[in-house]
Amino acid sequence: MKLGNYVQGSWTEGKSNFASLYDASTGETIAEASTEGIDFGEMLGYARTIGSPALRKLTFHERARMLKALALHLNSKKDQFYKISFKSGATKIDSWIDIEGGFGNLFTYSSIGRRQMPNTPHYVDGNYVPLSKEGTFGGHHIHVPKEGVAIHINAFNFPVWGMLEKIAVNLLAGVPAVVKPATLTSYLTEAVVREIIASNILPEGALQLICGSARGILDHVESQDVVTFTGSATTGKMLKSHKNIVDYAVPFNMEADSLNCSILGPDAKPGTEEFKIFIKEVAKEMTVKAGQKCTAIRRIIVPENYIEEVHTGLKERLGKITIGNPATDDVRMGPLAGKTQQKEVMEKIEELSKCCNVLIDGREDIKLISGDKEKGSFLSPTLLHCPAPLTSSAPHDIEAFGPVSTIMGYKRTEDAITLAKLGKGSLVGSIITGDDDFATEVVLGSASHHGRMMVLNKDSAKESTGHGSPMPQLVHGGPGRAGGGEEMGGMRGVFHYMQRTAIQGHPTTLSKITGVYQPGAAQIESDVHPFRKYFEEIKVGDTLVTGTRDITKEVIDEFADLSGDHFYAHKSDSDFEGTLFDSQVAHGYFLISAAAGLFVDPPKGPVLANYGIDELRFIKPVYVGSKIHVRFTCKEKINQEPREDEVPRGVVKWQVDVRDEEDESVALATILTLVANKPN
């Protein structure tokens, strides 16, 4: 079978120079891949001119719904992906992480787009910044989609997750993608992309695929493009130094394999729940995906006096792992992805053995329950011990990208921290301890060298996602050897594909540009009460100036009795000497309640409910005898996704500016209301 490349709206095969792809368990040829004859310059140009405009005109909510539809479609086809995934050496659990974990990223970013981002093509960042004395000039920040293409160069170990975790982010941002999976397992990526294209969910040009070599593609990148790379640090450095990347300052995000560690706390003695958790977690990270994970535990850092027990515990647990063809029931660990990978890992074990003792040698007597030992790429779990970890560099420099890990001991907490940092930058480090003081010291002492740190104890382990599982809501990446990049991270990841721009001008102008009311902007008053307007009829800047209300001693006392809040400042007989107040003051919460009494229009109408309150501030004391009024202004409008059996509606944010008789603000708040859409 010849794999297809999806280029400029159609599937095409390479012309020559095909690379053969093999079943990792049997050695059988399963596909051929080539990109010969593809013009990468035209491919990227197609994404910029066709895919980019189509995505940029959509709002975040529309892009988010697109991701959800895509996730649902792919999930309905998952059984066919599992069958293909077995050929890569992935077990059912390995495939679940890769396939359904990838779908999970689509679902997560769909939720982020619909719940945390506006229903606009751009994003308003932070708060208005006044830049002038009279308030006629200020600034703000917006994010807009880059007008280029995201080029994703992925590793072989996660052919589905590796693609979907990246494109979920760039598609939500409004940027098209060209995906280049590692050729070794590109047959699974190709199967998923075929379903994506067949679904017709994405706009044309939003996604293109290269199966085979992409040599020369960086010759065509431009300043609006973004390049991401997952793989070896050596290859990443070479790509990062490409002339176009440097000359055009093209953002380059690198996630490189790293020597991640897991640290056992001194309190987690053999026999404790934390010790059992540690053994389970290390063994899992050594065997899931046959240890071929960029987040796998390579360095096992334990108190010196627990080394023997850790060795015994891991030997017992690893000895129960059944190895073979993942298509066979009861197989718990499959082969490495290919013969080249197998040979490389064995060579790394040999290098490490020069300064480490081999406790469990996975190269010897590999017992299979299925698969071909000669033609397949099998390797059993291998465990080493480094007797001098503070002075031996090899365990901190050499990574065997397979089921291989090294135990190293420490005497003091500061030694554990030093060992963790000797990896020169890691994607993840974990700490298994019931001692929060130890956890705090290790996290704060070594966080500078890690992209993520996880603390496990008996209270969190049951629901933990585990050492090796990056979550789309949090950043994935790491400093130094790990590449110095960041992926995912919720909205943080989306902004990697957008341009943050400072905008300056009059508040009214900035309100128009951002779609969000800015302090000092023109306010639109009309004879129609804002609560009489449907969602579509309300405009940002619509303002109601209310009548006044007298603040008397009686209403303050009544509110104190009703609420039970008898704080001294709200009592007339208090001694106010040395306080912030001159005499009895009104409760801040009374002011907000009284404000509602001034601006609320009571009869049934388009306003369905109060949805909440944000950013409440009490600015100036209000004493007995004061008069308050409210300037009630539409600050922002947010469309809500229509739901079955519910009134179609949106959220309107209102600025509540409570003012006194001197027309000075005494309280500010943002309230949210659910407002019905205008009937069709």
**DSSP secondary structure letter of residue 477:** E
565: left (phi over 0), alpha (psi -120 to 50) or beta: beta
Token pair 């660990």: residue: 333
Instruction: Report the b/e string of 356-389 with b at 16+ CB within 10 A.
Output: bebbbebeeeeebebbbeeebbbbbbbbbbbeeb
H-state helical runs in 150-185: 161-173
Tell me if residue 355 is catalytic: no
d(C-alpha 277, C-alpha 273), whole Å: 6
Contact predicate 431/267, CB 8 Å: no
Contact predicate 82/92, CB 8 Å: yes
- Kindly state the tokens that stand for 660: 């006194």
d(C-alpha 155, C-alpha 542), whole Å: 52
User: From edge to edge, which strands make up the β-sheet containing 123-130?
Assistant: 123-130, 138-145, 498-505
Tell me if residue 255 is catalytic: yes
Q: How far is CA 273 from the centre of its chain?
A: 31
d(C-alpha 307, C-alpha 409), whole Å: 7
The helix (H) or strand (E) run that includes residue 300 is strand 297-303
- Kindly state the tokens that stand for 31: 């596909």
- Kindly state the tokens that stand for 648: 């179609």
| Of 211, 261, 294, 386, catalytic | 294
What is the helix, strand, coil percentage profile of the chain, to 5? 35, 25, 40
Long-range own/partner contacts, residues 91-94 (CB < 8 A, 24 or more apart): 91/326, 91/331, 91/332, 91/333, 91/334, 92/326, 93/288, 93/332, 94/288, 94/289, 94/290, 94/326, 94/334
| Of 13, 165, 190, 255, catalytic | 255
Active site residues: 255, 294
